[in-house]
Amino acid sequence: MTAADAAVEAVATTDTLLVALDFDGTLSPLVDEPMSARMTPGARAAIDALAALPRTVVALVSGRSLGHLREIAEHDDASPIWLAGSHGAQFWVPGSGIEAAGDDAADLQLRDRLQEEVGQRTADMHGVWIEPKEYGLGVHTRTADADTAAAARELVDRLLAAEAPAWRRRTGHDILEFSFRHEGKDSAVAHLRERIGATAVLFAGDDVTDEDALGSLDAGDLGVRVGGGETSATLRVADIDAFVAVLDDVARLRRAHIS
């Protein structure tokens, strides 16, 4: 048995399992229009199967705002799946819904002003799209050419360094993101682990921000990196379909263990 196989079996047979998953690039292909993202049918079936098992909690952990995450995940009020949006600054809990977090009025005013200003300054940059986020903004450059993307990032970096130097800066697949909240996917997973009393965690992601969580996992947890890039994950898989196969294995082993 390989180390990866042993890690899969260990999380599958733990007492209380948290399956915490990034969305874009992990369950859904990356797309040019962010709000058109949807899980692959295989990914949807795999997480539904896991969520139906006893002592097994599935959570989506995303940089998307909670409202956007619910829309692309086709998540309704009856869902058993937990949500951590905005890199863990927002939570949706089955049975009780959104957990509100109080924010300073000055932070919200600055957010609104910078969203508007960045939108105006990049309006003529073809292929650049500004996403208003709950706690800041995202600069999408997937459909921009390389020079335009670089110019947009430089412009926004310069503006935010001057106007909001304390905001957290993140990069990802063709996105530059700023937030006045500093939570990360590591703190999101830690919060979820404590809330449900998980004895092990399976976390998977495909991007730089997912490494916060992957690097924070404990012995006995399983981290999975979907696709290329440097990683501290225990297991790397080539693509979403290969990751679905891992989830299917975990569900199969866990079902046999519980029964």
Q: Is 210 a catalytic residue?
A: no
Residue of 5, 15, 22, 76 marked active site:
22
In what order do the strands lie in the sheet containing 175-179?
129-133, 136-140, 175-179, 168-172
Q: Which amino acid is at 33?
A: E
- Measuring CA to CA, how many Å separate 93 from each of 48, 49, 75, 84, 189? 16, 19, 12, 9, 14
Cα–Cα distance for residue pair 141/148, rounded to 1 Å: 8
What the block records as the tokens of 77 is 């009020």
Concatenate the DSSP letters of all residues of 111-166 into one string. Answer: HHHHHHHHHHHTTTSTT-EEEEETTEEEEE-TTS-HHHHHHHHHHHHHHHHHH-TT
In the chain, how many H helices and how many E strands?
8, 12
Instruction: Provide the β-strand partners of residue 131.
Output: 138
Residues designated as active site: 22
